[in-house]
């Protein structure tokens, strides 16, 4: 297998690199570098989203018919690697990567016409309403009820860990429409306007000081039947399609390689026991990058990706946490000066005093504990690997 880029792929990489060199403003790069959460804050994300949309590269994982640029999987990977190296803001993917492709695939023409342009323009900001108290790993046990009343569903229940719901004006949601059916068969997929009466968002503050997560309460919220995606009872099939996009297809390796290089540049030479830890993490991140690339080469060749594609999220979580732990140890006491005011990374605010990398390290360390939980916990990933890859 040849892991070198073809001349056409190298030309594409150069085009992307030149664009990022021109189009990524310093304040967005700085804001991205000072983000401790998974996604950039909306003021940063919106600006970067508009720049990518103007270039025609925003919805690069959508089908060409829906406005995607028609890139191959390897072109998408090259784009993500270049973005990671340039330090672009990480855009919230609930809209662009999760509900967008779902609507392209399962939406009615009316839903596509209503939602896709507003998603691209940023008018609609989406949150993901899947998890509930008691229904995370065991998602099929979810209890939020949707009862049909003429042209609407009356929705009652609670969602939790809803990322950036405080900024969202739309929620895609799994609800139980048939409590008598088998758990998976009784679930439907609804699009909810967050401004509907009966929808309440309450913050959950993380140990890192970030406000990324929320509870969403639905109390007799009335949702038009026209906002159901797919048939009644098809929600689980749609959720599986969406979760495959959430868990796979991301270039984790390049982001980790780039973040470790930035840490090395900011923290100086790693000394003592930090040096072998840094080397090990660098090798693991590069190995993950190669694993992802090999999988994509197989996909482009029309082959089924092998079982190694199952390990990427698990391995990426371990490396992510290792890098953020290394950062805290490398910066030492400087990492413990959590900024008094948060968020301090907004583009309209002055840079924090002292090394920004050191000031963000502790928040990042605390925040990245979540990597082994969201998008499927590491224990669940290990079970899937044991069953599907090892055949246990
Ligand atoms: C930062 C963050 C952002 C999130 N964003 C969203 C969002 O936007 N929208 C959304 O819907 N959800 C979101 N989630 C929720 C996430 O999907 C769930 O937290 C996750 O699926 C785990 O579910 P749980 O929290 O209910 O934990 P549980 O499922 O209760 O798990 C608790 C512990 O038990 C272990 N466990 C559970 N079942 C098994 C098993 N069968 N075998 C072995 N071990 C098991 C787990 O691995 C874990 O260690 C987010 C979570 C986090 C941390």
CA distance 332 to 31: 23
**Nearest atom, ligand 1, residue 130 CA:** 11
Contact partners, residue 356, CB within 8 Å, separation at least 6: 30, 33, 34
182: exposed, middle or buried (Cβ count in 10 Å: 0-12, 13-18, 19+) = exposed
Paired strand residues for 153: 148, 223
Q: Annotated catalytic, 246?
A: yes
Helix axis angle for 73-86 and 252-267, nearest 10°, is 20
What integer pLDDT is reported at residue 319 of this predicted model?
A: 98
- Residue 373 CB less than 6 A away from ligand 1: yes
- Residue 95 CB less than 6 A away from ligand 1: no
**Nearest atom, ligand 1, residue 164 CA:** 8
- Provide the token pair at 183: 């758990």
Q: Which residue's alpha carbon is at the smallest distance from atom 7 of ligand 1?
A: 162
- Residue 131 CB less than 6 A away from ligand 1: yes
- Residue 207 CB less than 6 A away from ligand 1: no
**Cα 249 to ligand 1 centre (Å):** 20
Name the CA dihedral angle for 387, 388, 391, 392, rounded to a multiple of 10 degrees.
-10
CA distance 371 to 315: 10
**pLDDT per residue of the chain (392 residues) written in tens, 0 to 9:** 556 889 999 999 999 999 999 999 999 998 898 888 899 989 899 999 999 999 999 999 999 999 999 999 899 999 999 999 999 999 999 999 999 999 999 999 999 999 999 999 999 999 999 999 999 999 999 999 999 999 999 999 999 999 999 999 999 999 999 999 999 999 999 999 999 999 999 999 988 888 899 999 999 999 999 999 999 999 999 999 998 877 666 789 999 999 999 999 988 889 899 999 999 999 999 999 999 988 888 888 888 776 777 789 899 999 999 999 999 999 887 776 655 445 444 555 455 556 777 878 888 999 999 999 998 899 999 998 899 888 88
**Cα 317 to ligand 1 centre (Å):** 14
Paired strand residues for 148: 153
DSSP state of 304: P
**Cα 377 to ligand 1 centre (Å):** 6
- Residue 166 CB less than 6 A away from ligand 1: no
| Beta pairing, strands 126-129 & 187-193 | unpaired
Q: CA triplet 21, 25, 27: central angle to 5 degrees?
A: 140
Helix axis angle for 252-267 and 274-300, nearest 10°, is 150
**Cα 383 to ligand 1 centre (Å):** 14
CA distance 381 to 392: 14
Cis peptide upstream of residue 316 (ω within 30 degrees of 0): no
Q: Which residue's alpha carbon is at the smallest distance from atom 24 of ligand 1?
A: 136
Residue of 246, 284, 289, 292 marked active site: 246
CA distance 108 to 141: 27
**Nearest atom, ligand 1, residue 131 CA:** 11
What integer pLDDT is reported at residue 261 of this predicted model?
A: 95
Q: Which residue's alpha carbon is at the smallest distance from atom 25 of ligand 1?
A: 136
CA distance 79 to 9: 10
Q: Phi, psi at residue 222, to the nearest 5°? A: -100, 120
**Cα 214 to ligand 1 centre (Å):** 14
Q: Residue 104, SS3? A: helix
**The tokens 């390990």 sit on which residue?**
311
Helix and strand totals (H; E) in the chain: 13, 8
| Ligand 1 pocket mutation, candidates 130, 238, 374, 382, criterion most atoms within 8 A of CB | 374
CA distance 364 to 356: 12
- Residue 39 CB less than 6 A away from ligand 1: no
**Nearest atom, ligand 1, residue 159 CA:** 11
Contact partners, residue 204, CB within 8 Å, separation at least 6: 160, 161, 211, 213, 214, 215
**Cα 189 to ligand 1 centre (Å):** 20
| Ligand 1 pocket mutation, candidates 175, 377, 383, 384, criterion most atoms within 8 A of CB | 377
Contact partners, residue 253, CB within 8 Å, separation at least 6: 285, 286, 288, 289, 290, 291, 292, 293, 312, 316
- Residue 255 CB less than 6 A away from ligand 1: no
- Which helix (DSSP H) or strand (DSSP E) does residue 133 occupy? none
Residue 343: closest CA among 216, 119, 98, 167:
167
Cα Rg of the chain, angstroms: 21
Residue 248: closest CA among 90, 376, 130:
376
- Residue 158 CB less than 6 A away from ligand 1: no
Please check whether residue 194 is in contact with residue 170, taking contact to mean a CB–CB distance below 8 angstroms: yes
CA distance 170 to 174: 13
Q: Give pTM, 2 decimals.
A: 0.94
Please check whether residue 19 is in contact with residue 51, taking contact to mean a CB–CB distance below 8 angstroms: no
């Amino acid at each position: 297998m040849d892991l070198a880029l073809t001349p056409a792929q190298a030309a594409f990489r150069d085009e992307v690199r030149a664009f990022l060199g021109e189009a990524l403003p310093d304040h967005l790069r700085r804001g991205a570098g000072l983000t401790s959460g998974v996604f950039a804050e909306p003021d940063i994300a919106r600006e970067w989203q508009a720049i990518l949309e103007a270039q025609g590269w925003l919805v690069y994982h959508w089908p060409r018919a829906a406005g995607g640029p028609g890139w191959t999987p390897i072109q998408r990977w090259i784009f993500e690697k270049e973005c990671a190296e340039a330090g672009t803001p990480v855009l919230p993917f609930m809209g662009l990567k999760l509900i967008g492709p779902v609507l392209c695939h399962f939406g009615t023409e009316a839903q596509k016409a209503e939602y896709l342009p507003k998603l691209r323009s940023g008018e609609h900001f989406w949150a993901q309403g899947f998890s509930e108290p008691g229904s995370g790993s065991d998602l099929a046990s979810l209890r939020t009820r949707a009862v049909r009343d003429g042209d609407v569903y009356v929705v009652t229940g609670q969602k939790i860990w809803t990322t950036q719901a405080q900024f969202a004006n739309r929620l895609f949601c799994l609800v139980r429409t048939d409590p008598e059916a088998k758990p998976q068969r009784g679930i439907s997929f609804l699009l909810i306007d967050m401004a509907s009466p009966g929808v309440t968002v309450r913050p959950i503050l993380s140990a890192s000081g970030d406000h990324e997560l929320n509870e969403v309460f639905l109390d007799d919220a009335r949702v038009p039947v026209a906002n159901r995606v797919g048939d009644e009872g098809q929600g689980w099939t749609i959720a599986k399609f969406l979760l495959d996009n959430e868990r796979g297809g991301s270039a984790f390796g390049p982001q980790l390689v780039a973040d470790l290089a930035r840490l090395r540049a900011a923290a100086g030479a790693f000394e003592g026991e930090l040096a072998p830890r840094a080397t090990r993490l660098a090798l693991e991140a590069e190995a993950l990058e190669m694993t992802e690339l090999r999988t994509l080469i197989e996909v482009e060749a029309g082959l089924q990706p092998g079982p190694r594609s199952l390990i990427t999220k698990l391995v990426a979580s371990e490396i992510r946490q290792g890098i953020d732990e290394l950062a805290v140890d490398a910066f030492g006491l400087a990492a413990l000066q959590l900024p008094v005011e948060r968020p301090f990374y907004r583009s309209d605010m002055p840079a924090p005093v002292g090394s920004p990398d050191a000031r963000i390290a502790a928040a990042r360390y605390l925040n990245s504990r979540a990597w082994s939980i969201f998008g499927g916990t590491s224990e669940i990933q290990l079970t899937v690997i044991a069953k599907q890859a090892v055949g246990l």
